[in-house]
Amino acid sequence: MKKTLILVFWGYLLLLFQTSWGPVFQWGLVRLNGLVPLVVWYGFGVPMPGGLLAALALGVLCEPFSSIPGGLYIVAFSGAYLLVRYIHDHTIFLVLWQRCLVAVFVSIGVQTVLLLGSRAMDLLWPWALIQAALDGLTYPLWSRLFDYTEKIIAKMYPESGSRARL
């Protein structure tokens, strides 16, 4: 529940930040993006089916902020979540650099879906791949930020954790 709260809170905050301050952190067609790392972080922490529902909700939340054809963000983020869950369920433990690689791979998937849907596939090379590399590189920072937020929420509402354990 805490992680879902973080997904919605940070998802919305990142959407606002990326659309109002986006150009400041944009180089060519590459922009500092926290949404894909958020989905990856969430995917590693929350199982289905609740997790999938939240990923879907994040996709819905993205729609008003973009002119990209409707439904693409929903498909992209849900697909990203499922991919992360699949990897999670078939591995014993992933260290940070391996999670970064997963973030790169997932980001390529997300970019491909969005570019295909907006008929701009020619931008896959080099822009989408650079974007994916950036998402992977910044994943540790984002993941720390989300973990930190989770700790704060746990401190604020300690009873939710004990209930979960019960």
Partner 1 sequence: MSSQKRPYRKSGVKAVTILAVVLLIFAITGIRMGVPGVISPFKYLFMDVSGSIQNVLSSPVRWGKNLWDSYVALQDLKVKNRALRDEVKRLQGELSRYREALIANERLRKLLKLKEHSSVPVLAANVIGVDLAPWAATVTVDIGKKDGVGPGMVALSGSGVVGHIIDSSYMFSKILLLSDTKSAVGALIQRNRARGILKGAGNWMCRMDYVEKGVDVQVGDAIVTSGTDGIFPKGLLLGNVIRVSPGSASDLFQEIYVKPAADLKRLENVVVLMKSRPLAGSRP
Out of 49, 67, 93, 155, which residue is the one contacting partner 1 (CB under 8 A)?
Answer: 67
Residue 96, judged by CB atoms within 10 A of its CB (0-12, 13-18, 19+), counts as exposed
Helix (H, G, I), strand (E, B) or coil at 28: coil
106 vs 76: CA distance, rounded Å: 9
125 contributes a contact to partner 1 by CB under 8 A: no
How many residues in the shown chain lie near partner 1 by CB under 8 A?
Answer: 25
Angle of helix 96-117 versus helix 72-89 axis, rounded to 10: 150
| 110: its two tokens | 């997300």
Identify whether the C-beta of residue 46 lies closer than 8 Å to the C-beta of residue 4: yes
Q: 152 vs 3, 10, 73, 92, 156, CA distance in Å?
A: 12, 14, 29, 28, 6
Select 35 or 84, whichever has its Cβ closest to partner 1: 35
Out of 4, 78, 107, 131, which residue is the one contacting partner 1 (CB under 8 A)?
Answer: 131
78 contributes a contact to partner 1 by CB under 8 A: no
115 contributes a contact to partner 1 by CB under 8 A: yes
Select 68 or 101, whichever has its Cβ closest to partner 1: 68
9 contributes a contact to partner 1 by CB under 8 A: no
CB of 23 to partner 1, least distance (A): 6
CB of 68 to partner 1, least distance (A): 5
Identify whether the C-beta of residue 58 lies closer than 8 Å to the C-beta of residue 77: yes
Binding part of the chain for partner 1, among 39-47, 67-75, 77-85, 141-149 by CB under 8 A, reads 67-75
CB of 148 to partner 1, least distance (A): 25
| 27: its two tokens | 């180089």
Binding residues for partner 1 (CB under 8 A): 15, 18-20, 22-23, 26, 28-31, 62, 65-68, 73, 114-115, 118-120, 123, 127, 131
